[in-house]
Amino acid sequence: MKSFARATLVVATVVAVCFALLQVGGRVLFYQLHRFEDTVNAVFGPGFLVEGLQGRWQGLNPGIFADRVRLASGELIGLDFELDLMESLGRNRVVARRMTVADGRLVFEKAGGGWHLAGGSAGSGLDALALFAFSDEVWVRGRVFAREGRRTAALYVESWFINVGGGHRFSVSVQSEPNCADCAIQIEGDVTEDGPGAVRVSANAFSLGSELDDMLGLPDFEVALAGDWRRSADGNARARFDIELTRIETPASESTLAAALVAWSEGTGYRGRIDTLSASSGDRLLEFDGAGFFVPGDLGNPFADLWLPPFSVEDVATFATTALGVDHPVGRWLDNLAPEGRIDGFRVRFDGEGAAFVCRARDAAIASYQGVPEAQNVAFVAAGHTRAIRLDVDGYDIALAMPDLVGAEETYVQGGGSITFSFVSGNFGMRGERLWLDRGGTRAVADIAFSRPRGASHAHVAVDAKVDRIAVSDAGGYVPLAVAPGVRDWLRTNVRSGHLEDTRILFQGAVGPSDGPPRRHFEMAARVVDGVVDYHGDWPSASHISADLVVRGQETRLRGRARMFDMDIAEADVRVPSSGEEISLRLRSRADAAALLHFVRASPVLAAMPFLSDAWTGDGPIVVAAEMVLPLTRSGNDGVLPRDLRVEFDLEGTNIDMADLGLRFDAMSNRVRYEFPASLASDGLTGRLFGAPVRLGIESDAEAIRFAVEGSASVVDAYRLLGLADPGVARGGFDFDAAFEVFPGSEHPAELRIESDLVGVAADLPAPLDKRDDEASALAVSLQFLDDYVAVSARYDELSGWLHMDDGGIMAAALGLGVPVPMADAAQGRMVIAGGLDTFDVASIVSALGPADGEGPGFAWELRDFRIGRVEVGALELADLRVDGYGEGGEIHLTLAGRELHGSLARSGDAPWRLNVPQLNLPASPNDDPIAVDPAVIDRLFAADVDIGRVLVGEADYGTWRFRLRPVPEGIELHDVVAELRGLSIEATAPMLWSRDGTTRFEGTVTAGDLREVLPQWGFVASVESESFAAEGSVYWPGSPLEFDLATLSGDASLDLANGRFLDVEQGAGAARIMSLINFSTIVKRMSLDFTDVFGRGISFDRALANLSVTDGRARFREPAKITGTGLRVDIDGSVDFASGALDYTMVVTPPLHASLPWYAAFVAASNPVLAAGVLFGQQVLKDPIKRLASVNVVVRGTYDDPEVVPVGNASALAAGAEDRVIAEANPARDEPEATVAEQGETEE
């Protein structure tokens, strides 16, 4: 005990001595401190300066005063500091008894990642919080500066702290504007340790100032704040704050944030609720009801928890986009991602490390942007912080798309996996682990990594995916867009159906814009089952593919078997390089010719074979071996053309039918080699053409492909080849040589040349084109197949010329027959023909120039000085005829000039021909017989309107003729026949018909004036004169209209002569015949009586009427003909044979009575004198009754030239008859003229 007391005393003594020494030494030192000002400045270095330094000692506490203290981090003016020595020693911290700063300046600067005192370090030993919390009095006034580069901002601060007896009172005022009383935020408090207390915070329009806001990364804003905190004696505390931040300068619009918080103590911490939390920007308002928070009391590891009620992601994203605008990175991302969904259980914790959150989401969706995949119908749990977010996805009916990476946009039945997003120092990354998707039996599992460095325009993507089975149509969408476009497009569009099995996909590379060439690597391996591949839209498809597909490194390769059209390809090897510009193909197949032709027509190879017609077909086996390189891009307007194409065709009895050319090659054998674009060769194909052996050789060079054909054909084959009906003008067979030449890739037209000597062919053509079968006549034809037409040049014997033809027919031509080819302008579009023929049938040329249907030859033509030695018109022949004319647009006009005729032949459209001949000279027949014409000519006649001004047959004038020829099924009709012929006017009242049975029918009238003038023109004696003559009837005769002859005439006719007389002519007076049915002068003379006093120089009549029925030239009076005059009457009944001139008729002549009785009495006196005397008596006594007895009845036989007249009955009989008539008819003589007139009327009827 004594030892402990002794030790304690010693320690106390030492402490007392030391404290005494400290007090004495300290006081001495501090009172002399001003003398050490320079030393102090030198010790602390250039960053420290003190001016007006003074020291003092108050009781136990030392103190200093300085006018100015300049530090690296600021400046203190009017510093008065008294150290509380005992408390500082007790708390091991600097504690002031009293400190005052009249005006201070403290500078914080931003460097590295945060703010710190200027010129200082993060390890400063001064505990500012203890200084203000435990010092008895602290009075500070001054400014706090923030500095960043050359920018500076300040806050003005006034504060005091009084800490006495466990109580703490304080007041702090901060403002950015020194002279603005309403701009300050004021914090005042009176708190007792472990006892009651209160703190009040208020501000009306506090702001940090735009410069400081900018340096702190905050928008400009103003805050109105009213809040208080109170703690009761039992330790329970409550707080309430009303905060409104206004005029928040967000990038796109001005925003406002308002909140009302209530908090209460819970243990050592605080829990609270946010009664209202709202934000507005532009026209958007965002409100949360029911949010809460918790702040623990452990200040050693402080944090704060905040939770929010369920909210719509779309509402938050839309509000943020409105506030930030799409030019702001966050606003741009939110706008492009367009997030949707519902967030539940959102909690966020703030601590010294930052902020972290956790939440649940359902029905979430985002659009694709900057490598972020598009997704819909997603449910996940999210957890993360400011640097990373993790999503654990598990959902149904998920829609997923990554348009920046792949083109697929699929909906899956189910999907899941883990996705982590990271944000570190501005870098963005995403990692998907074991992401699985399942849809309709297709299951895919993938690991995906995505990263985008800060400031980079591109992203790096890595994908490792496995798919057990997927349709090709779906798989194409998963080829990364970063793969070479040619390869990607070819895989997606050309491998277009079937399935891929056991697929593995690897991709690594950059996507998006890049300063340099993108570095990418893609690999894919799969098995194609039942695939269909289109190399390109211009080429045929390959189907039934079973092959291995590998995409690796520099190429894509497909190896296996397939079917193309009807060709089975047992060996196929397809390669596509990484450039995607071409495809290499090797194949071998045994195919049918039809399938091979189909392949060529469906591919651009057809462009190299312009001679290959769509009408060509084939059958029979062909073995094909091919190698080719095909571009994947179109070459000009002709489609995708191959290069390095080499094909060998082995024909094994193949048949080729060139239907449009009329050629069929059968049993073709040998090899044909083809190399694109225009190399084709064969050592000699053999086969059959037109049923005969043929040899076909093929060769080519850089300019052309040439086909040489040696064979034989018949005329029938040639007509069939040309598509012409056989006109029957040639027959036989001939050998030929043909050469067909094409010029691929050149504007030079294809050419075909055919040559033959035509030995074996006989031609029945007009001279000089006719030939015998043993004669040789060179035929040479050359055709050029131009773009718009075919140019033909030909020579055969004396015929040469050229033609231009297209699908519509002949466009232009020039032909010379026996003369040089005439000059012709092809642009005028007509055929010019010059030269001549020895003989020609006019019906043939008319048929060629304008058939009955009016279609014509279909082209314009011109005959230029065309001469014909002899023209056959039926049985007529015209010699030395020259023809000029033209035909165009349905109009045809020919000018005819020759020895026999001059005139024109014309036609318009399908109207009949118009033949106008001013004068026609025809040769007379040797015996003046009618011209005989074969009825077969009817088929060669054509519809024509004929107008002939004058017809001369020899020297004989056959007058003027007009009629319309019209072919009919029965023959040929002549309509509207009108003729003026040697004094006769002929007019048909119905169509005149020349029938095919060789008969001509005419119905009409023949009229004339004085027959005395007409008859001599026909070679007859003028035996009759008349004032008028008219005949009408319906007659027919065998032969043509030119073969009219009374001797063969049949039909019915009527004759009517008026006011004439039968003249007394002498028989045999000349060569002229007597044209009369009755030869009155001769007949009267043959009666051996003298009637000179009765007839005078002829027999006058008023009317002569006759109705005839004619059969084969024999005319019979259908009723007695009547000739009447003044007191005269002649009745005729019987027949006349026009062929032989035989007469057989009865004629009753009744002259006037006063003149007739004397000769009648003399006539009867020869048989009965008594009766003759009675007649004479009766003339005087019974004049009128006896008048009936004055007639003579005779029978006339014989011929025209030698008639025989036989009186009827004897004299007594005649007398008895006369007597009976006298008694029966006792009428006055004056009635006779009336009876005669009546009889004449009956005759007319």
CB 500 within 8 A of CB 469: yes
Residue 1103 near residue 1240, CB atoms below 8 Å: yes
Which of 400, 399, 358 minimizes the C-alpha distance to 380? Answer: 358
Report the C-alpha gap between 198 and 405 in whole angstroms. 61
- 198-226 burial code (b ≥16 CB/10 A, e <16): ebebebbbbbbbebbbbbeeebbbbbbbe
Cα torsion at 577, 579, 583, 586 (round to 10°)? -20
Q: Which H or E run includes 867?
A: strand 860-873
DSSP labels, 1195-1226: EEEEESSSEEEEESS-HHHHHHHHHHHHHH--
Beta strands (DSSP E) in 96-221 are 96-111, 114-117, 137-148, 151-164, 167-175, 185-192, 197-206
Give the pLDDT means over successive 10-residue stretches in the chain (1245 positions). Answer: 53 57 67 81 84 84 88 88 83 87 89 74 62 88 89 92 89 89 89 90 89 82 92 88 88 88 86 89 87 81 87 89 84 86 90 83 82 77 85 73 62 76 77 81 82 76 84 69 65 75 83 65 84 74 84 79 77 76 81 82 72 83 84 58 78 84 82 80 85 86 84 84 70 89 80 89 82 88 83 88 80 88 85 85 60 56 86 72 86 88 88 90 70 78 90 83 92 93 91 92 94 84 88 92 86 92 63 51 57 59 92 92 83 88 86 53 43 43 46 83 75 40 41 38 37
Distance CA 634, CA 467 (A): 33
Residue 749's identity, in one-letter code, is: P
Q: What is the reported pLDDT for 17?
A: 57
| 151-164 and 137-148 strand pairing | antiparallel
Contact between residue 577 and residue 640 where contact means Cβ atoms under 8 Å apart: no
63's CB contacts (< 8 A; 6+ apart) are: 30, 55, 56, 57, 80, 81, 82, 83, 97
| CA distance to 1011, 1191, 1234, per residue, from 1059 (Å) | 11, 22, 18
At 869 the pLDDT is: 82
Both structure tokens of 53: 């330094």
Residues 6+ apart with CB under 8 A from 602: 539, 540, 565
Euclidean distance between CA atoms 868 and 836, whole angstroms: 5
At residue 969, the 3 state secondary structure works out as coil
Report the candidate in 812, 776, 810, 778 with the shortest Cα–Cα distance to residue 794. 778
Q: Is 267 helix (H, G, I), strand (E, B) or coil?
A: coil
| pLDDT of the residue at 476 | 67
Dmax of the chain from CA atoms? Answer: 243
Q: What is the pLDDT of residue 1147?
A: 86
Handedness of CA 321, 325, 327, 330 (dihedral sign): negative
Q: For residue 510, what are its two tokens?
A: 């950059």
3-state SS class at 57: strand
Domain ranges of the chain: 6-119+127-164, 368-534, 535-670, 820-911, 1153-1195+1210-1244
CA dist., res. 361 & res. 375, Å (int): 13
What's the rounded Cα separation, in Å, for the pair 546 and 565? 16
- The encoded tokens of residue 498 equal 């079937």
Minimal CA–CA distance to 755: which of 795, 728, 700?
795
DSSP 8-state symbol, 1072: P
Report yes or no: 753 and 782 within 8 Å, Cβ to Cβ.
Answer: yes
Nearest to 413 by CA among 394, 443, 438: 438
CB-CB neighbours of 77 under 10 Å: 18
Q: Residue 707 has which token pair? A: 């086909």
Distance (Å, rounded) from C-alpha 181 to C-alpha 95?
32
Cβ contact 1174:1186 at 8 Å: no
Angle of CA points 1143, 1149, 1151, to nearest 5°:
150
Closest CA to 820 of 796, 806, 837, 799: 799
The DSSP element (H or E) to which 451 belongs, if any, is: strand 442-452
Is the distance from CB of 794 to CB of 800 less than 8 angstroms? yes
Please provide the DSSP assignment of 187-222 as one string.
EEEEEETTS-EEEEEEEEEE---HHHHHHHT----E
User: Residue 1145 in contact with residue 1093, Cβ under 8 Å?
Assistant: no
Say if CB 735 and CB 712 are below 8 A apart: yes
**Integer Cα distance of 513 and 482 in angstroms:** 11
1094, two tokens: 């009765």
For residue 1227, what pLDDT is reported?
Answer: 41
Q: How far is CA 841 from CA 790, 847, 875, 913, 941, in A?
A: 31, 10, 10, 16, 11
Dump strand ranges (E) for 690-844.
692-700, 705-714, 730-742, 750-756, 761-763, 779-785, 790-796, 799-806, 809-817, 830-841
Which residues on adjacent β-strands are paired with residue 729? Answer: none
What does DSSP say about strands 951-953 and 944-948: parallel, antiparallel, or unpaired?
unpaired
List helix spans (H) across 383-515: 472-475, 485-494
At 1231 the pLDDT is: 43
The residues near 947 (Cβ < 8 Å, ≥ 6 apart) are 914, 915, 916, 917, 961, 962
Of the chain, the end-to-end C-alpha distance in Å amounts to 201
